[in-house]
A and B are shown apart, each in its own frame.
Chain A
Amino acid sequence: MTYKLIGKDFTPPDLEAKVTGAAKYAEDFRADGMAHVKIFGSRMPHGQVKNIDISEAEKVPGFLAALLPGEVKQPGPAGLPILTGTATYFGQPILAIAAETEQAAADAVAAVKVDMELLPFVVDPLESLKPGGPDALVGGNIASRGIDFQSVKWTGKDFAMVGEGELPRGAAVVEWGFGDVEAGFAGSAVVIEESMVHATNAHQAMEPRSAAAYWENGKCHVWGSTQSTSFAHPGLARLIGIELSDLVLVAEYCGGGFGGKATAYPLMALPALMSKKLSGRPCLLRVSRVEEYDNGMARAGFQGWMKLGFAEDGKLLAADMFMVQDLGPTSGFRDYNNVGNASSIVYQPAAMRFRAVPVLTNTTPKGAQRGPGENQAANMVEPLFDKAARELGIDRLAIRRINAPGNGGANATYGPKQGPVTSAYLKEALDKGAEVFNWAERSANAGARSGSKVRGYGIGQAYHSAGANGFDGLVRITPDGILHVHSGVGNLGTYSYASTSRVVAEALGYDWDRVVIERGGTRKHIPWNLGQFGSNTNFTMTRSNYVAAMDAAMKLKEIAAAEFGGSPDEYKLENERVVKAGDSSTGLSFAEAAQKAIKMGGKYAGHELPEDIHEMTRASATAVAGSGLVGVAKDNLPKEGTVPALAAGFIEVDVDVETGKVEILDYVGAADCGTVIHPTGLAAQVRGGAVMGFGLATTERHIYDPAYARPNARTFYLSKPPTILDVPVKLDWAAVDQPDPQNPMGMKGIGEPLQGAASAALINAISDALGGHLFNRTPVTTDMVLNAAEDRPQSHRPLATNTV
């Protein structure tokens, strides 16, 4: 299909503000008399507050107010409090102080005396599962969305029954499967059985989660840093304790989120609550980098065990997996399920059993981080495929091709229920990537040595579900003929808020320079949209924008029919005019139609609205009613099955066996993201995802002192995100560019698997250079490489977490 805008590059409207410094992030807004807020973070990993003495703090010049845990709403069990009297991790906010200056607030916080009683604490999930092991929270060590807060202990026998370095496998809290796993193993030519560890790591968004707020005429105004605008709104209102209509949220830019700012979060509500105490005076909470490490979410870690059975030709016959998730101190995210789900779609096993236990620990809270569970799965499973390929004597590309879903995914299945997928072209992505990379020829150089450097090659694959449905779209044509697309998706930096808005322009035949995107906050009258997370924006938002565009198109035709007679289907849209089919001279410009819509009122101008739209959309449409032709609809388009975003990565590295340094020489990322909507935007995602993946694979992790549960990696250099010198000069990309049949223009999301494909490829390439050495631990750090190169034992115990 040929499009005017889709698949073409364009300049997103917020770019110029980013390069000139005009872009305003949460901490860049100023208000007269703004007070500064600082938090007092827990000095204990798990402790009960016995007394808070603020008498000295009150004497600090400039002190305004203290906000204590009893003054704010508290969540249910295993929730994440705004302020707490029972700290469950180091650095957790216990109280906040507002003062005239930031220095005064810091001085006052330093003068606070908090008496705490230390409670039992734990940072290693397996320690908590041991008989009599410590619980991270009073009353339990297991929680998850949909799983009751409870205490689970395995038996001594569970721990004794396994071999050295093997994951004990006691009672599982989660269990699902399909097919006959034991029969699969019995019929396998090669069975791989390994235990492994995946570290937790911080999101490390460049912008810490600062926020500011004030109250005016009963309404609360918040400047916040969030990936999502509409989707963050109800949650923030809930945290502050007010009605949706009493909250104004401004979130024009988000300085990185990666899942850590997917929704509203407790710290975002803190300035609003403090401001309320100060009778509405503006309050700014500037979150420091260290506070961000303590409170800014992290990817969940795993201790895992996997057994994979392969046929002679490399086909995966059976997969058995057991995952112990490091959940942090709250119900967190179900990364564990995504390990199983991702494995089920990427490898299409004939039979599978999946078990998991999410275990609470006294570590920083864990939220979803780019490919939560799916990308850990890539890092844990992909190396086992390399091992199987070596044992079977087949090529590492071949073993992936034979298992990968392809040809559109007609026979592909997903998850515990083995449900259908909307489209899948992973095999094609492998082929495309292999071709661009020239895998066949180059991978033959594996092991080539030059001085102390050994060449290695790797392939990685990853998945994330890439779309939802049921959200609303809101568009408007004003009497000047300008198209306004109201978008509440958020501005994370993928520019998909803009590229998905182009679908409206495409559907109505608009010139892009006559389109205005209304975004950046609830004052822009935004519809109910899903947030910008979960690789979903392209699929979900193009659908909701499309249905709103179709509603506008129908209204344009009805207005023309009312003016010139005949039925609406005798009219068509052409050059920003609605004209009679076969007689282009009879018709109205969109500007004229918008003027008529205002006169006709009713549904045309947004005075009458569909029944099924969300209350947020209803309020926004009502606010703009009468200002033009209003197109508004809920996405009721059919959708059946899971929408898969799939990616494959190919990498070339040199491993210095004398220093352990890994140098990445070349990388190609290939994406199955449906129709390519914005080529340069996609390129930026493929490359950026790869860079983040390189860090995940080799340098980034939280480290908690096991004796005292203190976090020891709270600076960039101790959990290093790659710099420009750590990545190749050029990162290449490719896309399958096959439309998804369940999206009007064929789009799917892609953001997350681009990271997992790269990180898994890098881990595999390092192993390749070392003759296939299996690390079974992510990240693969320099000293691990060196130990492996010199055939020395690793310095960590096999299943230990928080290793250096």
Chain B
Amino acid sequence: MENYGPYDPTLDYAPGPATKEVAAGSDCIRPWKPLHMSRRNFLRSVVCSGTVIAGAGYLFSAATPSRADARAVERLVSLTVNGRVRRLEVPPNETLATTLRYRLGLTGTKIGCNQAECGACTVMADGTTIYSCSTLTHRVRGKEIVTVEGVASADGTLHPVQQAFVEEIAPQCGFCTPGQVVAAVALLNVNPKPTVEEARMALSGNVCRCGAYDHYLRGTMKAAERI
């Protein structure tokens, strides 16, 4: 084989187990030289180590809770998901995407960005598309939630949108697909004969990194012809 392949960080590791188990990370600390503490470097150090920016965007991004809130008492909520009434204990700060994915096992709804940018978590609430990663479950009490799992018929027959997406090979990696399906179905539910422009607007909240927009659009228009 010629020298072929991408950056493979695993090649920098020797085979076999870790040489020894070390407590408390003491062994990881290599010798270091203190930085010359000029005023400039001191300021840099302060800024760089500050806790101004959190290192990670976590699950509860819609309303980052204080720790006290996080352990708030879970409250009973009644949700209608894909036609079934589900009664659940859900803390007040839990997002709908978390409830669907981690409590109801509906993993078709994806979390792509946790911050209402990408649309992979799109579901319908009373027919309207919402980003479930940025909607608190308690906000949709009593509403009819439809996820990608609830789009096909009970007997497994694909929805015309799903069928058309298959025919047009609309998905590539497929991670944004559940959101695209829900967005297209929600459009056709209220506007069965959309114009191309209307369809583009309806799908514009769903990012596809593979760039399969052309195929999703064709699929949506094809499904509209069959509804």
Which A positions have Cβ atoms within 8 angstroms of B? Answer: 11-12, 14-25, 27-28, 30, 38-45, 47-50, 52, 60-61, 68-76, 78-80, 83-86, 91, 95, 102-103, 106-107, 109-110, 116-120, 138, 145, 204-208, 231, 234-236, 238-239, 241-242, 253-259, 262-266, 286, 288-291, 294, 297, 330-333, 365-368, 372, 465, 468-471, 492-495, 530-531, 533-534, 536, 680-681, 684, 687-692, 707-710, 715-717, 721-725, 727, 729-731
Beta-carbon contact of A715 and B117 below 8 Å: yes
Taking A235-B11, A723-B207 as known contacts, 17 extra A-B pairs with beta carbons closer than 8 A to each other, sorted by chain A number, are A14-B174, A15-B166, A18-B177, A20-B162, A21-B148, A39-B56, A49-B28, A85-B30, A95-B25, A102-B59, A117-B32, A241-B17, A253-B175, A257-B173, A289-B113, A533-B6, A727-B213
Beta-carbon contact of A116 and B25 below 8 Å: no
Beta-carbon contact of A255 and B211 below 8 Å: no
Q: Which of chain B's residues have a CB closer than 8 A to the CB of A468?
A: 1-2, 4
Beta-carbon contact of A12 and B25 below 8 Å: no
Contacts A76-B12, A207-B112, A708-B44 known; A687 to B58 CB distance under 8 Å? no
Beta-carbon contact of A43 and B60 below 8 Å: no
Beta-carbon contact of B113 and A715 below 8 Å: yes
Beta-carbon contact of A49 and B55 below 8 Å: no
Q: Tell me the nearest residue of chain B to A80, going by C-beta.
A: B9
Beta-carbon contact of A262 and B5 below 8 Å: yes
Q: Which of chain A's residues have a CB closer than 8 A to the CB of B29?
A: 48-50, 85-86
> Among B57, B71, B101, which residue has its beta carbon within 8 angstroms of that of A288?
B57
> Among A11, A74, A469, A495, which residue has its beta carbon within 8 angstroms of that of B28?
A74
Q: Which of chain B's residues have a CB closer than 8 A to the CB of A23?
A: 174
Is B21 positioned at the interface, with any CB of A under 8 Å from its CB?
Answer: yes
Is B67 positioned at the interface, with any CB of A under 8 Å from its CB?
Answer: yes
Beta-carbon contact of A138 and B30 below 8 Å: yes
> Among A14, A30, A493, A709, which residue has its beta carbon within 8 angstroms of that of B105?
A30
Q: Mark B149-191, 1 if CB is under 8 A from A, else 0.
A: 1011000001001100111111111111110010000000000
> Among A49, A119, A254, which residue has its beta carbon within 8 angstroms of that of B173?
A254
Q: Please measure, in the bound complex, the distance between the C-alpha atom of A42 and the C-alpha atom of B53, giving whole angstroms.
A: 11
Beta-carbon contact of B107 and A236 below 8 Å: no
Q: Which of chain B's residues have a CB closer than 8 A to the CB of A49?
A: 25, 28-29
Q: Which of chain B's residues have a CB closer than 8 A to the CB of A84?
A: 28
Beta-carbon contact of A256 and B149 below 8 Å: no
Beta-carbon contact of B4 and A465 below 8 Å: yes
- In angstroms, how far is the closest chain A Cβ from the Cβ of B117? 4
Contacts A15-B169, A204-B209, A256-B175 known; A332 to B5 CB distance under 8 Å? no
Q: Which of B1-40 contact A (CB under 8 A)?
A: 1-2, 4-19, 21-30, 32, 34-35
- In angstroms, how far is the closest chain A Cβ from the Cβ of B213? 4
Q: Which of chain B's residues have a CB closer than 8 A to the CB of A16?
A: 158, 162, 166
Number of A-B contacts (CB under 8 A): 364
Beta-carbon contact of A235 and B110 below 8 Å: no
Beta-carbon contact of B115 and A25 below 8 Å: no
Candidate in A117, A242, A286, A288 with the most chain B CB atoms within 10 angstroms: A288
Is B132 positioned at the interface, with any CB of A under 8 Å from its CB?
Answer: no
Q: Please measure, in the bound complex, the distance between the C-alpha atom of A729 and the C-alpha atom of B218, giving whole angstroms.
A: 9
Beta-carbon contact of A262 and B162 below 8 Å: no
Beta-carbon contact of A52 and B55 below 8 Å: no
Beta-carbon contact of A205 and B173 below 8 Å: yes
Interchain residue pairs with CB less than 8 A apart (10): A22-B108, A78-B12, A118-B35, A256-B210, A493-B173, A681-B169, A715-B117, A716-B117, A721-B207, A724-B206
Q: Which of chain B's residues have a CB closer than 8 A to the CB of A83?
A: 28
Q: Which of chain B's residues have a CB closer than 8 A to the CB of A43?
A: 48-51, 53, 55
Beta-carbon contact of B48 and A110 below 8 Å: no
- In angstroms, how far is the closest chain A Cβ from the Cβ of B9? 4
Q: Which of chain B's residues have a CB closer than 8 A to the CB of A715?
A: 113, 115, 117
- In angstroms, how far is the closest chain A Cβ from the Cβ of B210? 5
Beta-carbon contact of B214 and A687 below 8 Å: yes
> Among A258, A265, A717, which residue has its beta carbon within 8 angstroms of that of B117?
A717
Q: Which of chain A's residues have a CB closer than 8 A to the CB of B212?
A: 684, 687-688, 691
Q: Tell me the nearest residue of chain A to B4, going by C-beta.
A: A468
> Among B10, B17, B28, B166, which residue has its beta carbon within 8 angstroms of that of A70?
B28
Q: Which of chain A's residues have a CB closer than 8 A to the CB of B5?
A: 231, 262-263, 530-531, 533-534
Q: Which of chain B's residues have a CB closer than 8 A to the CB of A255?
A: 110, 112, 173-175
Q: Please measure, in the bound complex, the distance between the C-alpha atom of A635 and the C-alpha atom of B217, giving whole angstroms.
A: 41
Q: Please measure, in the bound complex, the distance between the C-alpha atom of A716 and the C-alpha atom of B53, giving whole angstroms.
A: 18
Q: Please measure, in the bound complex, the distance between the C-alpha atom of A30 and the C-alpha atom of B103, giving whole angstroms.
A: 11
Q: Please measure, in the bound complex, the distance between the C-alpha atom of A258 and the C-alpha atom of B175, giving whole angstroms.
A: 14
Q: Which of chain A's residues have a CB closer than 8 A to the CB of B208?
A: 206, 691, 724
Beta-carbon contact of B59 and A18 below 8 Å: no
Beta-carbon contact of A21 and B13 below 8 Å: no
Q: Which of chain B's residues have a CB closer than 8 A to the CB of A494?
A: 172
Is B79 positioned at the interface, with any CB of A under 8 Å from its CB?
Answer: no
Q: Please measure, in the bound complex, the distance between the C-alpha atom of A11 and the C-alpha atom of B163, giving whole angstroms.
A: 11
Q: Which of chain B's residues have a CB closer than 8 A to the CB of A265?
A: 9-10
Beta-carbon contact of B1 and A469 below 8 Å: yes
Is B120 positioned at the interface, with any CB of A under 8 Å from its CB?
Answer: yes
Q: Tell me the nearest residue of chain A to B163, going by C-beta.
A: A19
Beta-carbon contact of B169 and A367 below 8 Å: no
Q: Which of chain A's residues have a CB closer than 8 A to the CB of B101?
A: 28
> Among A24, A138, A368, which residue has its beta carbon within 8 angstroms of that of B32?
A138
Beta-carbon contact of B57 and A724 below 8 Å: no
- In angstroms, how far is the closest chain B Cβ from the Cβ of A720? 9
Q: Please measure, in the bound complex, the distance between the C-alpha atom of A294 and the C-alpha atom of B109, giving whole angstroms.
A: 24
Beta-carbon contact of B177 and A19 below 8 Å: yes
Is B203 positioned at the interface, with any CB of A under 8 Å from its CB?
Answer: yes
Q: Mark B97-109, 1 if CB is under 8 A from A, else 0.
A: 0000100011111
Contacts A21-B109, A238-B15, A724-B203 known; A118 to B8 CB distance under 8 Å? no
Contacts A85-B29, A717-B117 known; A263 to B149 CB distance under 8 Å? no
Beta-carbon contact of A117 and B47 below 8 Å: no
- In angstroms, how far is the closest chain A Cβ from the Cβ of B2? 6
Q: Please measure, in the bound complex, the distance between the C-alpha atom of A492 and the C-alpha atom of B48, giving whole angstroms.
A: 37
Is B134 positioned at the interface, with any CB of A under 8 Å from its CB?
Answer: no
Beta-carbon contact of A91 and B70 below 8 Å: no
> Among B44, B148, B175, which residue has its beta carbon within 8 angstroms of that of A707?
B44
Beta-carbon contact of A103 and B9 below 8 Å: no
Is B222 positioned at the interface, with any CB of A under 8 Å from its CB?
Answer: no
Is B88 positioned at the interface, with any CB of A under 8 Å from its CB?
Answer: no
Beta-carbon contact of A120 and B48 below 8 Å: no
Beta-carbon contact of B214 and A206 below 8 Å: no
Q: Please measure, in the bound complex, the distance between the C-alpha atom of A47 and the C-alpha atom of B58, giving whole angstroms.
A: 24
> Among B7, B19, B108, which residue has its beta carbon within 8 angstroms of that of A262?
B7
Q: Please measure, in the bound complex, the distance between the C-alpha atom of A103 and the C-alpha atom of B58, giving whole angstroms.
A: 8
> Among A19, A258, A291, which residue has its beta carbon within 8 angstroms of that of B166?
A19
Beta-carbon contact of A24 and B210 below 8 Å: no
Is B147 positioned at the interface, with any CB of A under 8 Å from its CB?
Answer: yes
- In angstroms, how far is the closest chain B Cβ from the Cβ of A32? 13
Contacts A21-B106, A116-B49, A534-B4 known; A258 to B209 CB distance under 8 Å? yes
> Among A60, A73, A288, A289, which residue has its beta carbon within 8 angstroms of that of B13?
A73
Q: Please measure, in the bound complex, the distance between the C-alpha atom of A264 and the C-alpha atom of B10, giving whole angstroms.
A: 7
Q: Tell me the nearest residue of chain A to B55, going by C-beta.
A: A41
Q: Which of chain A's residues have a CB closer than 8 A to the CB of B204?
A: 723-725
Q: Which of chain B's residues have a CB closer than 8 A to the CB of A95?
A: 25
Contacts A41-B56, A692-B211, A709-B48 known; A238 to B10 CB distance under 8 Å? yes
Is B138 positioned at the interface, with any CB of A under 8 Å from its CB?
Answer: no
Contacts A118-B44, A465-B4 known; A70 to B27 CB distance under 8 Å? yes
> Among A19, A30, A91, A709, which residue has its beta carbon within 8 angstroms of that of B171?
A19
- In angstroms, how far is the closest chain A Cβ from the Cβ of B225? 17
Contacts A15-B166, A21-B147, A687-B211 known; A262 to B8 CB distance under 8 Å? yes
Q: Which of chain B's residues have a CB closer than 8 A to the CB of A48?
A: 29-30, 32
Q: Which of chain B's residues have a CB closer than 8 A to the CB of A103?
A: 58-60, 70
Contacts A11-B166, A15-B166, A206-B173 known; A729 to B217 CB distance under 8 Å? yes
Beta-carbon contact of A331 and B209 below 8 Å: no
Q: Please measure, in the bound complex, the distance between the C-alpha atom of A681 and the C-alpha atom of B111, giving whole angstroms.
A: 26
Is B216 positioned at the interface, with any CB of A under 8 Å from its CB?
Answer: yes
